[in-house]
Structure 1
């Protein structure tokens, strides 16, 4: 008798092998379909992104006056749907009104993305993404890229969870305005104002709740936005702020990095921005006196280049200047000492839960600097969830943090975030 005719009889080794082979075939078939869909979507997005690039100059032209003198912060000035939105989502490129360091009206660009799934009855919660350094020149805006969503850490996971995403370019990127590089007030204004702008897009179905999420430079912007949200955007409901390898303490950052290529690059972006923003207060000559003659000559060329896409050109200029770019440490030289302190996070308490992730192999934002900032938050009795990421460098910090971040966001939605201050 065939043993398979006996109910409950165990299959033979040959049958087990056949079953395993069938499972492998099914898994491989599913993977092939998924990969095929991803490739097809990638081809679609690339082709549509190429077409969109041809229309960008017209879209990003700042209105005159810039913007309307009566435009409230967060007012959408111009918007267009993005054909290359990720599969299962709808996205818009937006120009919106914001404010600079002096409180003057400016125009800022960015993107808003929502999943195509039904929105909750009270509207979608927004994750306001603050991106890491891409450069300081107008052309370096993430939304101007062939893939305008490339640098949004966790985009697919957040959309799958039902969140809307609002991602600013920051002032001076995309739209031809003064650079805001590492200037905490205009950066944080632009982060908060794009949440308002997202709410102005009727089809996005945005609610009043939002979360801040930033990496590196974006960590600084997100932390300042958290400090200032209640005063600057009281109509919005901030639930929490998450950062990865944040540039929280600019004084320490500059001291740690000024004698390497990264520090020279950061300074070359910051010096023109700070000169324009603080010239009336400290004087252009006093601000630029920190530069050596060689540094002064090279700064305009470096500031015109984008990080990541033009690294080789930047390093070719910055490399020979290491050790000879500045006359002294900006962190201990006025007026830089004052300017860096004013643009470092921690001056005001954060009253919502905070998520902090820090790679332990980070050579740009030193782990010790983030440790010190977290200690400062804990001393202020802030609810902090701090995650040290072993063997993670600066560039991967936001992506490595995603599993813990998504768990924390779930806790935040349940109003039960798990802090770990001592």
Structure 2
């Protein structure tokens, strides 16, 4: 909702200077947020013409469950406390102590209050715990009641949503962070199939998939972030067509 409130605030602060038409663009977790914002826009703010999501976070339930079976440390486990904190926003009855292992709850869970994702990735935090040590025993095969609630919130975070405006999804096939097809898990390819089915009556889903080797990994953080710059010319053209009411290409 905050994404949409920014538009309302800008229009009130600068009356007559802010255009009536706008689009939402986001990358990674921002891409996930962009899709949810576009879903909630009707009836809340007027003028949305389209939404673009570059490598949007998706199918988080499968990622968390898969990570819980890994007998090794991984800096990506920094997302576990962030996702749990988000899940608490959706269901405040979740008890983190009944979700996490005693070590994770007592030593690492408090870090979510004052550390960024990068800080949580450090070896003295969630980047130093094995996947199999994150949760109370039994997860994911036999989850506790609170772990089941956590799972439901994770499932609800997948941005397979009815969307009333043109949608552009961008994904590099060789992105190592948000994956196109991380079989046996589900990735952006699957999300696009879901969105296409969910919005079949509108036919408004456009997928720009860059095949392996197309996006150069010249960014220090790799292809995941390099996709932003690589896609900018095409994305800008697509947005310009929408905002001038000429209609999106493709």
TM-score (norm 1): 0.48
Match of 1:201 in 2: 13
Query: Is 2:209 the counterpart of 1:388?
Result: yes
- Structure-2 separation of matches of 1:207 and 1:257: 44
SS of the counterpart of 2:19? strand
Residues 360 and 367 in structure 1, CA contact (< 8 A), matched pair in contact too: yes
Deviations 1:169-223 (A, max 9, x none): xxxxxxxxxxxxxxxxxxxx00000011110122770022110001111111110
Which residue number corresponds to residue 241 of structure 1?
Answer: 51
Asked if 2 retains the 8 angstrom alpha-carbon contact of 1:226 and 1:241, the reply is yes
* Structure 1 position 227, deviation (Å): 1.0
* Cα distance in 1 for residues equivalent to 2:44 and 2:64: 28
- Secondary structure of the 2:105 match is helix
* Displacement after TM superposition at 1:331 (Å): 11
Q: Deviations over 1:354-397 (max 9, x none)?
A: 11111222222221210011112222223222112334422333
Determine the structure 1 residue equivalent to 2:158. Answer: 344
What residue in structure 1 maps to residue 130 of structure 2? 322
Aligned 8 A contact 1:330 1:336 in 2 = no
1:401/1:256 CA distance change after superposition, 3 Å: farther
Match for residue 375 of structure 1? Answer: 193
Q: CA–CA distance in 2 between the matches of 1:305 and 1:228? A: 30
Unaligned runs of 5+ in 1: 1-188
C-alpha change, 1:351 and 1:276, in structure 2 (3 Å) is: closer
Query: Which protein, 1 or 2, shows the higher relative CO under an 8 Å CA cutoff with sep ≥ 6?
Result: 2
Residues 147-166 of structure 1 show CA distances to partners (whole Å, capped at 9, x for unaligned) of: xxxxxxxxxxxxxxxxxxxx
- Structure 1 residues 296-332: Cα deviation after superposition (integer angstroms, max 9, x where no partner): 1212125421234x47x73432233122112323997
- Give 1:414 deviation, angstroms: 3.9
Q: Secondary structure at the match of 2:34?
A: helix
Q: Which runs of 5+ in 2 are unaligned?
A: 182-186, 216-222
Match of 1:403 among 206, 210, 233: 233
| Structure ID, larger Rg | 1
Cα distance between partner residues in 1 of 2:24 and 2:141: 29
1:300 counterpart (107, 110, 135): 110
TM-superposition CA deviations, 1:341-364 (whole Å, max 9, x none): 222211x41121111111222222
The aligned runs of 1:245-260 (5 Å cut-off) are: 245-257=55-67, 259=70
d(CA) in 2 for partners of 1:245 and 1:222?
11
For 1:386 and 1:250, how far apart are their aligned partners in 2? 20
Identify which of 338, 355, 374 aligns with 2:168: 355
Two-structure CA RMSD over aligned residues (Å):
2.6
Provide the secondary structure at the position in 2 that maps to 1:242: strand
2:99 paired with 1:278: no
- Structure with greater strand share of residues: 1
Residue number among 207, 211, 214 corresponding to 2:23 in the alignment: 211
- Describe the shift of the 1:276–1:330 C-alpha distance in structure 2 as closer, same or farther (beyond 3 A): farther
Shift of the 415–322 alpha-carbon distance from structure 1 to 2, 3 Å rule, reads farther
